[in-house]
Amino acid sequence: MTASPLLTTRLFGPQLDAKGTTFRLWAPAAASVDLVMRDEVQPMRRRNEGWYDLRLPDVGAGARYRFRIDGELDVPDPAAAFQPDDVNGPSEVIDHAFAWTAHEWRGRPWREAAFLELHVGSFTPAGTFRAAIEKLDDVAAAGFTAIELMPVADFPGRRNWGYDGVLLFAPDSAYGRPEDLKALIDAAHQRGLMVFLDVVYNHFGPEGNYLGRYAPQFFTTEVHTPWGAAINYDVPEVRAFAIENALYWIANYRFDGLRLDAVHAIKKRGHPSILSELSRAVGAFADANNRLVHLVLENDDNAAALIDPHAPAAAGKYRAQWNDDYHHAWHVLLTGETRSYYRDYADDPFRHIARTLASGFAYQGESSPHREGAARGEPSAHLPPTAFVSFLQNHDQIGNRARGERIDQLATDERAIEAALAVMLLAPMPPLMFMGEEWGAEEPFPFFCDFAGDLGAAVRKGRQNEYKAGHLGGSITGGMLDPLAEETFRSAVLDWSAREQPRHRRRLDLVTRLFQARREHVVPKLGGALSPGKAHCDGAVLSAHWQLGGGRLALLANLSSAPVRHKAEPEGQPIWGGLAPDDLPPWSVFWSWTEA
């Protein structure tokens, strides 16, 4: 395959060519804009619709620049490709040409997706893109087919979860330069791993965002979000900003897909919806360049109408959604916690687990106790299982706890976690695990950031108040870890040597064998996964089946700590657990395949 073309036709960001660079800024509220390079200040020409531009011959890659607004405020480029000196420093012109080596890579089919979500800064002790390359062989050997990077967009300071990004086109310098990120993606492709990026289009972080000063049209005070005034996607330039950003990562960095964070918080979507327009643009680019690119949503609204793993690009749909319902039901079963949003699953976690396996969402329009009786969700039984990404934990569900405990520190029985993994990793839904989960890592993943002064104090106080109110469903045992302390961040760094300990070695072996069984027995059948499944619980006994390509995949499990008498009819060829006996052992899982 020839190299994918770079994204060169853009409204935002510097345009670099062989003869120089054109600088552009949309600043409709500015009376004047100057380009500042070192000690030189050059006025930019105002065009229609609030655009300013300036063409400089003989200025190329490596040049550093700022925009001066109304002769008084120097700001970075909101579409900067790199910020070598953090969010308030000058922007750097980047040449996106790169010597890719995985020349034949075009992606992998969605049915093969098995994700490892990771935070670049805590994935390795060095916390860089280059250091992550050293662990890719281990990731592939465990059985994952994709890594999903938490947001890397430039954030204030040296450490951050990633959801405080303010310069959405610039990978944060704490992790390395743009070419380092490209090297990571190229190395992943060499190993057959897809690479996804978590992107945030529902808000900007609280420090380093100057858009409100010179382009207040970016926001609307008519609608508010947890982060303040909503981004206004009614405005054409704002829509273009988000769509260009999505295309920028896929074209210039060769990401295989994006995960759109919390789209339920995008309150001013415009017409047509920014979500459908962005999906169509990405799909059209992928089709034109013979690439497989996948878009995934996080959406607390459970809007089934947005997702369809088989839809063409023109439909403006998304491959799948992260299924929080799946996680929440399992979390209640494994830990017994019923605070906050876990209230919605406390009545019968077995029933909710069965429903997520059979038809996607647990809440498909039913009244939510946590939402004071409001209806939540849309019917999803018409969607295939590949439309729902399943997980037992992720960055949110660990980090939105006062001390960042993982499921292994919360569950009462290790056998229960192993059973849950055996269900999740062999079910037809694409599975996702959080970094280190494959060996049962014990490091917490608490919320952390590097804000200073009043902002830092406000963030600390805000998190304390949320935990006291039980708002995040997190434990306050032992008190909250200080989100601003460097040791809080350091506590999250994975200890890769722990994999050699017997307990962790056993867990990694289990996960590896489950992935192997998935690869051999389940993935080849998922091309025919066009209909939902059927599932129910008889007490603690879970049974489910799906009609897939050429046959029937069946599950039988005892999700309890006691043996259960259950008549297990022989069904097809066992693919995990052997033949199910009439007396199901505690936390036992059996999978089988029956040819049509």
Rounded Cα gap, residues 7 and 460, in angstroms: 40
Q: And the tokens for 454?
A: 């009043």
Tokens of 458: 């406000």
The CA dihedral of 197, 200, 206, 209, to the nearest 10 degrees, is 90
Q: What is the Cα–Cα distance from 96 to 516, expressed in whole angstroms?
A: 37
56's CB contacts (< 8 A; 6+ apart) are 20, 21, 22, 23, 35, 42
Angle between the N-to-C axes of helices 349-359 and 324-335, in degrees from 0 to 180, rounded to the nearest 10: 150
Is-contact 589 543, C-beta < 8 A? no
Strands (E), 212-293: 219-225, 228-231, 257-260
Burial label for 55, CB within 10 Å (0-12, 13-18, 19+), is middle
Between the alpha carbon of residue 358 and those of residues 50, 161, 432, 546, 574, the distances in Å are: 52, 33, 18, 8, 21
Tally the residues of the chain.
596
Say how far apart CA 520 and CA 471 lie, in whole Å.
42
Backbone angles phi, psi at 177, to 5 degrees: -90, 170
Tokens of 305: 């109408």
Contact 180, 129 (CB under 8 A): yes
Burial class of residue 444, CB neighbours in 10 A (0-12, 13-18, 19+): middle
Are 150 and 183 contacting, i.e. CB atoms less than 8 angstroms apart? no
Annotated catalytic residues are: 261, 298
**Could you tell me the CA-to-CA distances from 579 to 363, 522, 568, 594 in Å, in that order?**
33, 18, 9, 13
What's the one-letter identity of residue 361?
A: F
Strand partners, 21: 16, 56
